[in-house]
Structure 1
Amino acid sequence: MEDAVFNDIEIGEMQVTLIYLSSLVDKLTLHKLVMFPLMQSQEKFLQTAEVIDRNDLDSIISTITEGNTIIYFHETKTYLKINTFSVPTAGIMDTDTESSVIGPQNAFTESLETNLSLLKRRIHNTNLKSKNFVVGTETNTKVSVMYLDHIVNKENLDIVCKKIKEINHPGFNDISILQQLMDDHPFSPFPQCYETVRPDIAVSNLMGGRIVIAMDNSKGVMICPISFFELFISPEDYYNRWTTASLLRTLRFFGFFLTISLTPTYISVLTHHPEMLPFDLLLNLQESRGRVPFSPVMEVLLMELVIEILREAGSRMPSKIGQTIGIVGGIVIGTAAVEASLVSNTLIVLVAISALLSFLPPNFIMSNASRFVRYFFILAAGMFGLYGQMIAFAWLFHHLLNLTSLTTPFMTPLIPRKWSDLFDSVVRMPTFLLKQKPGIARAQREKKPPAEKGE
């Protein structure tokens, strides 16, 4: 390595070599933790340092690449290590992807140690345990699995640890890659683990018996197992009144089914079932499509493609320019398309509403899944009308009912049913009723302390 440093120094009559990477170790930290203590008292330094097997070359190299400093004593031929990792890291900042008006605002960072401290400062409990792993054959990335030992389901914990140990992947730049490799059904568009950047969400799930997985150099953490209904829950729901939270959850939940069926229904009615509409409404639709040369299917696919292009282009540009391009581009292109008789003005409204509804789920991957599923519904509606939509809905429910998260049914609390989970599903009950652990976590029953004699 070009940044490897071999510094030979003499301390009295003893010769010592310091080995470290200059890109991972700051000189001030090196002087404070190694040089100064070594000059002052060699006996105390030997007591604080950790001995490494000199015959284990892989362990020595791995120790150096982790930011430690190796101290080699020539006379005794012994290797000691001191943790001197000191690279600049971003401070704790507010979240910009899962923002909320009420509740905590800080987010995880890309430092594993900082993220673990954010969790431990919120849970002062000796039962908060962690298991550490190293993944990535090339990157050797640190992963920490956190759980509450007296609550977590041991079978779930064993499954997570087994999956992490069996992963054979060259490198991990973000925890989302680990999430894809740990999914029970990797070909499904729906996420089977929840990813968040908010410590308060991770803490509430730990207390519910879930498992939280954090990775070094990744700002998000992964939570498992999860259910389909939890993908529509926002962290702000628990800080808001239960009436408002229930209203917003219902809007998100039914908005998902509306966004995948709005434009397909437009295709079905105009292509196969015009008799379903009132005559005045049908007349207005036919007038708006009077000069459109495309079929309803091609018309919808054209507008959906334009929306995808605007969304993708806006996300790749700087934030201020991206917002301008998204708003102005949508208005200009939509107006021009109607005036050019490429699409109907009714479809512009439906596509815009459908695009807005797709952003209602708090989970971004769930939002992408709704966009992907919508194309199946569009094609089914174009071929068979409402019958095709019903077939697509049957496929969707069959797929969701067969999904699992850590071998637990994805459609919990409906499959299997646990009545207490219904208090915190589509409708959120008042907080004093949300005492039991969620059924999907299969949490252990907390043992009550033994009664004292004489009671």
Structure 2
Amino acid sequence: MKIGKLLRAKMGTSSYEKVQSEERANNQKALQTINQIKEHVKHMSDVVLKDIATVEGIVTIIHCSSLVENMTMQNMIFTPLANHLNQIHQDAEVIDSTDTEKIVSNIVVGHTLLYFHRKNLLLSMDTFSVSTRAISTSEVESTVMGPQDSFTESLQTNISLIKRRIQNPKLKNEDRIIGTETNTKMSILYMEHIVNQENLEKVKSRIDKLDYPGYPDISILKQLIEDNPLSPFPQFYMTVKPDTAMHYLLDGRIVILMDNSQEVVICPTSFFEMFVSIEDYYNRWTTTSLLRMLRFGGFFLTIMMTPMYISTLTFHPEILPYELLVNLQESRSKVPFSPLLEVLFIELIIEVLREAGSRMPAKVGQTIGIVGGIVIGTAAVEAGLVSNILVVLVAISALLSFLSPTFVMSNTSRFIRYIFILSAGLFGLFGQMLAFAWLISHLLIINSLDTPFMTPIIPRKASDLLNSLIRFPTSYLKEKMGISRAQKK
């Protein structure tokens, strides 16, 4: 009361009442704003509202405790509020206190809001800080030579891994927010002076046109922006290796990264590049050429081996040498099924073992896979369900399917193999050739960013042949690949 009388005597009755009226109005507005925020976050148990007294009056701090660590709050909010209030005003972004939608969206992405009651001022600071997995070696794309680090689920960490390798201002990254419900952050990386602008605009356009609720992994995004979504073949390359991403960026490709996803997407890509590993460029050209031919030939062997068994035994036994035919007939003497049913049975057993092994704990999965395969295979042969020669063929075929460096391509080869098995069971070698003709025609039809998927095998330019099945020495590999259509030659 005495303070009020002194202020009234010093300021005058009218001025004092005016100040009091403004304070009451500010308090009412502050209370209304805080109540509105509380109403929108009342079912979000991890949202914390805390009032702190500062030299500028009461400040209400609002943040999501599950997205902001306590140490971050201490360093970025509490300490500056107590000692360096000007720093808060310099670093924070002013937002409209009546825009409740923006207020809530800031909270759920890890921002901290500071509401100054006296000034009716609402500030937002990016304090997002959650625990992330440390950079480690890749369990998906293991390599013997070269860097061993791999991407993590943090977008910023992944970008830093690439920018640490390419310290060039021409490396650009454009961010996007995708997912109508999840608001997931992603980034498009490219070399500005190398990338083909037409390809870049296509990628941006396809992403901007997406209307999908959420992206738990970047593989969902990849499927939505591919040229031929009905094709069993992946049309974009996916990797977890930063050095692989760097290699394709320097070749003029576009790299897409997404928060909460370890893998990155590289586009455009060709069918042949699905059998190329970054380790090929660290190895001698002779060894690399041998491995590339093995991987490429392994894809066709894995889809042809068991169908050939069906064709020869069902329709064309005369094409086999007499001694081999006798051995096959002896091996199948106790088998009551046709070669088609026999192959389908053992192939499905292999699929079950593979799927069960991948879903079990790591220490149990390997044991079950190896022991289960041996026990079931031996028992099936002794019981007369399958022939021992077929068990060998299926085992080799399964191993060949994993020669491709990309796991998605391994899955594709397994699917394609069933098409060849059914074709061989119905029409023999003629059916296999029909399936093979379909495979080649399909590969020639599909595109990657409107670029033919078979580009390096049917080169756009002669220099592509230097980096194909036969990889020439590194000194010859100066030209960009034709599929990149790069600006810089």
1:195 partner letter: M
Query: Aligned in 2, Cα 1:414/1:233: closer, same or farther, shift over 3 Å?
Result: closer
Which of 201, 208, 229 does residue 186 from structure 1 map onto?
A: 229
- Mean CA deviation greater in 5-14 or 351-360: 5-14
Matched, 1:279 2:279: no
Which SS does the other structure have where 1:253 is aligned? helix
Q: What corresponds to 2:286 in structure 1?
A: 243
Which SS does the other structure have where 2:434 is aligned? helix
Contact preservation (8 Å) 1:413, 1:422: yes
- What runs of 5+ residues in structure 2 fail to find an aligned partner? 1-43
Offset at residue 438 of structure 1 (A) = 1.1
What CA distance in whole angstroms lies between the structure 2 residues aligned with 1:55 and 1:185? 46
Which of 419, 422, 443 does residue 465 from structure 2 map onto?
A: 422
1:387-398 superposed matches below 5 A: 387-398=430-441
Q: What corresponds to 1:84 in structure 2?
A: 127
2:260 partner letter: N
What CA distance in whole angstroms lies between the structure 2 residues aligned with 1:359 and 1:213? 25
Matched, 1:33 2:76: yes
Q: What corresponds to 2:105 in structure 1?
A: 62
Offset at residue 72 of structure 1 (A) = 1.1
Q: What corresponds to 2:190 in structure 1?
A: 147
What CA distance in whole angstroms lies between the structure 2 residues aligned with 1:21 and 1:14? 23
Q: What corresponds to 1:126 in structure 2?
A: 169
Q: What corresponds to 1:16 in structure 2?
A: 59
Which of 303, 312, 337 does residue 346 from structure 2 map onto?
A: 303
Contact preservation (8 Å) 2:310, 2:339: yes
- Mean CA deviation greater in 305-314 or 163-172: 163-172
Which of 90, 93, 104 does residue 50 from structure 1 map onto?
A: 93
What CA distance in whole angstroms lies between the structure 2 residues aligned with 1:151 and 1:277? 54
Matched, 1:229 2:272: yes
- Mean CA deviation greater in 295-304 or 273-282: 273-282
2:197 partner letter: K
What CA distance in whole angstroms lies between the structure 2 residues aligned with 1:115 and 1:39? 35
Q: What corresponds to 2:416 in structure 1?
A: 373
Matched, 1:106 2:129: no
What CA distance in whole angstroms lies between the structure 1 residues aligned with 2:314 and 2:452? 38
2:340 partner letter: V
Contact preservation (8 Å) 1:133, 1:143: yes
What CA distance in whole angstroms lies between the structure 1 residues aligned with 2:359 and 2:194? 43
What CA distance in whole angstroms lies between the structure 2 residues aligned with 1:445 and 1:122? 20
Q: What corresponds to 2:385 in structure 1?
A: 342
- What runs of 5+ residues in structure 1 fail to find an aligned partner? 447-455
Matched, 1:316 2:359: yes
Contact preservation (8 Å) 1:409, 1:416: no
Which SS does the other structure have where 2:366 is aligned? helix
What CA distance in whole angstroms lies between the structure 2 residues aligned with 1:13 and 1:61? 24
Offset at residue 313 of structure 1 (A) = 0.6
Q: Report Cα offsets for 1:336-356 as digits up to 9, x if no partner.
A: 111111111111111111111
Q: What corresponds to 1:255 in structure 2?
A: 298
What CA distance in whole angstroms lies between the structure 2 residues aligned with 1:47 and 1:155? 40
Which SS does the other structure have where 2:131 is aligned? coil
Which of 119, 123, 139 does residue 96 from structure 1 map onto?
A: 139
Contact preservation (8 Å) 2:56, 2:116: no
Contact preservation (8 Å) 1:94, 1:107: yes
Offset at residue 42 of structure 1 (A) = 2.4
Matched, 1:208 2:251: yes
Offset at residue 44 of structure 1 (A) = 3.2
What CA distance in whole angstroms lies between the structure 2 residues aligned with 1:13 and 1:351? 76
Contact preservation (8 Å) 2:268, 2:451: yes
Which SS does the other structure have where 1:392 is aligned? helix
Offset at residue 230 of structure 1 (A) = 0.3
Offset at residue 315 of structure 1 (A) = 0.5
Q: What corresponds to 1:451 in structure 2?
A: none
What CA distance in whole angstroms lies between the structure 2 residues aligned with 1:197 and 1:417? 28
Which SS does the other structure have where 2:175 is aligned? strand
| Higher Cα radius of gyration | 2
What CA distance in whole angstroms lies between the structure 2 residues aligned with 1:243 and 1:41? 64
Contact preservation (8 Å) 2:56, 2:118: no
- Mean CA deviation greater in 18-27 or 47-56: 47-56
Offset at residue 65 of structure 1 (A) = 1.1
Offset at residue 307 of structure 1 (A) = 0.4
Q: What corresponds to 1:453 in structure 2?
A: none
Offset at residue 322 of structure 1 (A) = 0.8
What CA distance in whole angstroms lies between the structure 1 residues aligned with 2:379 and 2:345? 14
What CA distance in whole angstroms lies between the structure 1 residues aligned with 2:174 and 2:65? 30
CA RMSD after TM alignment: 1.1
Offset at residue 266 of structure 1 (A) = 0.7
Contact preservation (8 Å) 1:72, 1:79: yes
Offset at residue 23 of structure 1 (A) = 0.7
Offset at residue 273 of structure 1 (A) = 0.7
Offset at residue 416 of structure 1 (A) = 5.2
Offset at residue 421 of structure 1 (A) = 1.2
Offset at residue 173 of structure 1 (A) = 1.0
Offset at residue 45 of structure 1 (A) = 2.4
2:407 partner letter: F
Contact preservation (8 Å) 1:358, 1:370: yes
Contact preservation (8 Å) 1:409, 1:415: no
Offset at residue 262 of structure 1 (A) = 0.4
Which of 328, 331, 337 does residue 294 from structure 1 map onto?
A: 337
What CA distance in whole angstroms lies between the structure 2 residues aligned with 1:273 and 1:144? 55
Which of 403, 406, 416 does residue 446 from structure 2 map onto?
A: 403
Which SS does the other structure have where 1:170 is aligned? coil
Offset at residue 98 of structure 1 (A) = 0.6
Offset at residue 54 of structure 1 (A) = 2.9
Which of 138, 150, 154 does residue 181 from structure 2 map onto?
A: 138
Matched, 1:330 2:373: yes
Alignment identity in percent?
62
Offset at residue 13 of structure 1 (A) = 5.0
Contact preservation (8 Å) 1:103, 1:239: yes
Q: What corresponds to 1:442 in structure 2?
A: 485
Q: What corresponds to 1:450 in structure 2?
A: none
Q: What corresponds to 1:449 in structure 2?
A: none
1:161 partner letter: K
